Every structure is written in C-alpha cells, then in structure tokens.
Chains A and B, each alone.
Chain A
Amino acid sequence: MFKKDFPYFSNSDIVYLDNAATTQKPKEVITSQVEYYENYCANTHRSSFGDANKATLNYENARKILQKFINASSKEQIIFTKGVTESINFIASSFAKKFKTVIISSLEHHSNIVPWHMQGRTLGEGLEVVSCNENLDFDFKDFENILKQNPNSFVSVTHISNAFGKIHDIKAIIKLAHKYDCVVMIDGAQSLAHMKVDMQELDVDFFAISAHKTFGPTGVGAIYIKEEYLKEVDVYQTGGATIDQVDFSKSTMLDAPYKFEAGTQNIAGVIGFAKALEYINKVGYDAIMKQEHEVYEYLINQLSKLPNIIFYNNLEDSIGSKSFNFKDIMHDDIGILLDKMKIALRVGHHCAQPIMKQLNIKGTIRVSIAFYNTKEDVDKLIEALKKALDMLS
C-alpha cells in the first residue's frame, strides 16, 4: 500500500527487512535533495544572494519542522548533527563529562557504551549499568538502587533497542531519574520511524535523533537539548558559522543552535529530513502504527510456527524489530542463504555485544520492519527461512 511512495521498491526485487539499520526513502525526500543540488546549491548562513537565502531559509525551516514534529518549545533546541552517534558523542564530551557517574542500561548499543569508555569510565568506576531481565525488561528496582547510590548522575538510555526492538518505558525512566536530580539523555535512534515522541510530555533533557532511520537521508541527525541546558553545553567543534566576533586575542560564539553547528552542514540532507517528517505527517502515525503492528503481529505469529526457533523477548513492549535464533544453527549461515534468496535482513551482534554476551549468544537473526512492509514480505521471508533451515539441517 505504501511501497509505491518509495522508488526503491520499484527498482528492486529485494524483500527489505533491515529497517533498523536504515530505512528506504520516499520520493519527495530524494527529489528535495536533487532539487537543492540542481537548482539552488549554495551555502547557508553566510552569503546573502538569492540561492544562498533560499538554502538558509529551507535549512532553518527544517529546524522548525523538526521542532514541531517532536514538540520542542523552541527551534534553538534543535541542533543538527551527523546522526545519533555524533549526537551522543557531542553530549558526552561537551556536557556529560562533568558528571561523576553515567548510568546506562544493559540493552544499549555500542554508540551509547563506547563514548563513556573513551572518557575513562569503566563499570563501577564512573559507569553504572542497569540490568534487564531475561525478557529484556528494564529493571526499575536495580535502577532505583543505582540512583540512590549515585544521585546527580547523567543517565543515558535507549528508547527502543536496535537489536531487539524492545521499548523502554522512557517516561518512567526520566521521571525516576529526575527524582534523584539526574539529567537524562535518550537515544532515540529507532523512535521516530515507529511512534510519536513529545519532548515536553517526556520532560527529557537530551534526545538523540536519526534521519536515515526515519525515512530521511543518511549522514543527518539531531540532538534536542532542553532550554535550561543550552547554555551549559560546551561547543563541540568550532569554525565557520559558529562565531560572533574573532580577533587574534579571542573569539566569541553565537548563541545556540548556531554555535553547535560548525562548518558547512549536510544542507541537502537536512532539507531531505524535513521532507521525511512531512511525509510521516501526511501518512500519519495512526496509519503507520496500525499497518506496522498488523505486519509485526503476523511476523511473530508465522515465525513462531518454525521449528526450534528461540526468541528473546515478548511481542509486548516491542516494536519494529524481532531478533531470534534457531537451535544448533548459526545465525550467520541463515544470513548467507537468505541473502541469496533476496531477503535483506541483518545477522550478527547488531552493534550490541554486551547484551549478546549477557544472553550467552554470539548474535541473532534480526527482522526489522517499517510500515511499508507487508504480509507478503513476511510470507516470502518464512518461505526462505524454511528453505535455509532445510539446507542446513
């Protein structure tokens, strides 16, 4: 029903089920970028001729569109980055380094683990990890114990697990963390493609956003910063477009968001991202969630019928991705054979080695869907899985 909006599906006969890695792009996202390069390619915030003004206008308009999309109170709270990884690294080095302790969850992917290690934090020494149970539920009791021992910490947790599609109850996490005077960053890499997020309702302090996982271009993302922290976050990189006055004795910086966006940005990418958000608005989250849930439920139902399948979490509180294995079969073997049968999905540790170690597995087969996927896609997947299992047994 929605595939017609995405040129990839007219040009490829692949069954695309790797949406947690990146999503396909609707026509208007692609067109908007081509338009920028073909018709008004100019730098933003510097020159004042017509095309430069248009580029600046569209770029800043994208900021407003994202602001409204996530219900931030002002456009200054939206800083464009290369993506979630840069957003987390930015806040880690420009703000969170001041905190004695950082608290993460055991379900994090490497982007929300490695930056803390780079700061010299190790488990129990500046880094605390909230455990998840065998169903991958966030352990609130463990969290509160850690918070009691480490008030005034920086909490950084994922909204939706990249590897398992598990949704953390971030509203409750934020509320509890605030009770202990902690500041909270949410890794929203997987969020916007699947559900509405509202910065004011969540009362979150930092929220990392990915464009390419949200039907937008690659190499673009954003970080939402709550108003009260805008002045406390240090500049991450400096250079063109960030400064107010420079002489050889000192430089003064512009206000947010400009002081955080050094150098020439991914202008076409940002404009394309805004188009992706407009596309989501046009389709509507109600329609997206309805279609996606229907396919997701069908997927779980069909997968459950396969022999010797092992799941790691329930359908409840999960969205988009389903990770599994088959008893005595390596995920890698399945991945190779499915690729040859034109099924695109991911096998491996999904950049989340610690949770794989906790589950005592080397990796999983991950099917990750978007709202454009259909039950026919699932049928083709199941057929290919049966054939692969047959070949490997």
Chain B
Amino acid sequence: MNTIEKRVQDIKEDLEFFDDELQKYEYIIDLGKKLPQLEEKYKVPENIVHGCTSQVWLIAQKEDNKLYFKGTSDAVIVKGLVYIILNIFSDSTIEELKEVDMDIVYELGLSEVITPNRQSGVIGMIKKIKEYALTL
C-alpha cells in the first residue's frame, strides 16, 4: 500500500466512525476550520478548481520530487473536503500523484456523504492535483 492509499484508508476509517450523518458533517466542518488560511494573492482564476458548486482554490509547491498543496474554499464544509484532499495528496511524489485514480472519491465513501454535484467538485480537486503533477 503506498502512502496515498494508506491516507485514504485512514480518512475512511475516521469518517466511518460516525453513524449519524450530521455528526460526520460536524467532523468535516471542524476539519474545515482547521484548514490554514490561503493568502489572498493565490485566489486567482488560474488556481480555481472547476466543477465545484462553491469556489475552491488549490495551489501546489514543489520541493525535491514532492508536491505540497495548499487550498481553501468559501464554504466551510467544502473547506473540510479540501482539508481531506490536501491531507491525502500533499507530501507525495510526482510519480505517485500521476498514478492517482479518480475512483478514490468512491473509496473514501464520500459518495454517500456528498451529492453528485459536489462529488464532481472533489473530482475537480483531484484533477487539478494531477494537472499540477503533470506540469510542475
């Protein structure tokens, strides 16, 4: 199991801990509140993630052969999802990131938590991450 898969498993276990959906959301909201602020200068069109119902910005920074991501959203719950995504993908090698499968959304069990509209937002975030991995 590579690092990304391990992190997906960890998050999945965290989310599965809650029987009550609203509690699951409270947890996601708390994660959103923990997300560090993204500087205003990064909130530019080229950093916007397409497919999100709320606005999401994602940036990537390269160190050695690894990528580190920062991001935010204007909605708190989506911020929580950004937190999850960043946690999974940051500190990964470019090779690992290039291999990421979009089905990861379903592995996370997020498909039960979020509506199809918002799933496409999460897929958008992962696409953006892969885009960074392919171009940086």
Say yes or no for B120: interface residue by CB 8 A criterion. no
CB-CB contacts of A336-353 with B at 8 A, as 1s and 0s?
Answer: 110111000000100000
Interface size counted on chain A using CB atoms at 8 A? 14
User: Is B60 in the interface zone, CB < 8 Å from A?
Assistant: no
Q: How far is the CA of A336 from the CA of B121 in the complex (A)?
A: 14
Q: Which residues of A contact B78 (CB under 8 A)?
A: 330, 332-333
Most chain B CB inside 10 Å of its own CB: which residue of A336, A339, A387, A391: A336
Given contacts A330-B74, A332-B77, A392-B76, contact A340 B53 (CB under 8 A): no
> What 0/1 readout, one digit per residue, does chain B (102-129) give for beta carbons within 8 Å of chain A?
0000000000001100100000000000
Determine whether the beta carbon of B25 is less than 8 Å from that of A332: no
Is the beta-carbon distance between A332 and B22 smaller than 8 angstroms? no
- Is B29 at the interface (CB under 8 A from chain A)? yes
User: Is B53 a contact of A332 with CB atoms below 8 Å?
Assistant: yes
Known A-B contacts A330-B75, A332-B75, A333-B76; the reply to A339 vs B25 at CB < 8 A is no
User: In the complex, what distance in Å separates the CA atom of A164 from the CA atom of B56?
Assistant: 26
A329 to B74, CA, bound (A): 9
- Chain A's nearest CB lies how many Å from the CB of B56? 11
Does A362 interact with chain B (Cβ within 8 Å)? yes
- Of the candidates B21, B53, B76, the one whose C-beta lies within 8 Å of that of A348 is B53
Q: Is the CB of A332 within 8 A of B54?
A: yes
Tell me the A108-146 residues at the B interface (CB within 8 Å).
none
Majority SS of interface residues in chain A? helix
Interface positions of B from 16 to 72, Cβ below 8 Å from A: 21-22, 25-26, 29, 53-55
Q: Given the complex, which residues of A lie within 8 Å of B76, measured CB to CB?
A: 329-330, 333, 392
Beyond A340-B21, A362-B55, A392-B29, whether A333 also contacts B75 by CB under 8 A is yes
Name the B residues within 8 Å of A339 (CB-CB): 115
**Closest residue to A331 on the B side, CB-wise?**
B75
Closest to A340 in B: B21
Cα A24 to Cα B29 in complex, Å, equals: 33
Q: How far is the CA of A391 from the CA of B25 in the complex (A)?
A: 9
The residues of A that contact B29 with a CB separation of less than 8 Å are 391-392
CA distance A329 to B77 in the complex (A): 11
Say whether A336 contacts B22, CB under 8 Å.
no
Q: How far is the CA of A40 from the CA of B53 in the complex (A)?
A: 44
Complex formed: what's the CA distance from A348 to B55 in Å?
A: 12
A135 to chain B, nearest CB (A): 26
Q: How far is the CA of A348 from the CA of B54 in the complex (A)?
A: 9
Chain B residues in 8 Å Cβ range of A329? 76
In the complex, what's the smallest C-beta–C-beta distance from B115 to chain A, in angstroms?
7
Pick from A330, A337, A348, A362: contact of B25, CB below 8 A.
A337
Most buried by B among A330, A348, A387: A330
Chain B residue numbers with a CB within 8 Å of A391 are: 22, 25-26, 29
Q: Is A336 within 8 A of B55, CB to CB?
A: no
In the docked arrangement, what's the CA distance between A333 and B78, Å?
A: 8
Interface string of B74-114 (1 = CB under 8 A from A): 11111000000000000000000000000000000000001
Q: How far is the CA of A339 from the CA of B53 in the complex (A)?
A: 15
A336 to B118, CA, bound (A): 9
Q: Which residues of the partner chain B approach A348 to less than 8 Å between Cβ atoms?
A: 53
Q: Shortest distance in angstroms between B15's beta carbon and chain A's nearest beta carbon?
A: 14
Is A336's CB under 8 angstroms from B77's CB?
yes
Complex-state Cα separation, A124 to B77, whole angstroms = 41
Among residues of B, the one whose C-beta sits closest to the C-beta of A339 is: B115
* Chain B residues whose C-beta falls within 8 Å of the C-beta of A336 in the assembled complex: 25, 77, 114-115, 118
The 6 closest A-B CB pairs, nearest first, are A330-B75, A332-B75, A332-B54, A333-B75, A340-B21, A333-B77
B residues near A, CB below 8 A? 21-22, 25-26, 29, 53-55, 74-78, 114-115, 118
Can you show 25 pairs from A to B with CB atoms below 8 A apart? Answer: A329-B76, A330-B74, A332-B53, A332-B54, A332-B75, A332-B78, A333-B75, A333-B76, A333-B78, A336-B77, A336-B114, A337-B22, A337-B25, A339-B115, A340-B21, A340-B22, A340-B25, A341-B22, A348-B53, A362-B54, A362-B55, A362-B74, A391-B26, A391-B29, A392-B29
Given contacts A330-B78, A337-B22, 11 further A-B contacts (CB under 8 A): A330-B54, A330-B75, A336-B114, A337-B25, A339-B115, A340-B25, A341-B22, A348-B53, A362-B55, A391-B26, A392-B29
Which residues in A have some Cβ–Cβ distance to B below 8 Å?
329-330, 332-333, 336-337, 339-341, 348, 362, 387, 391-392
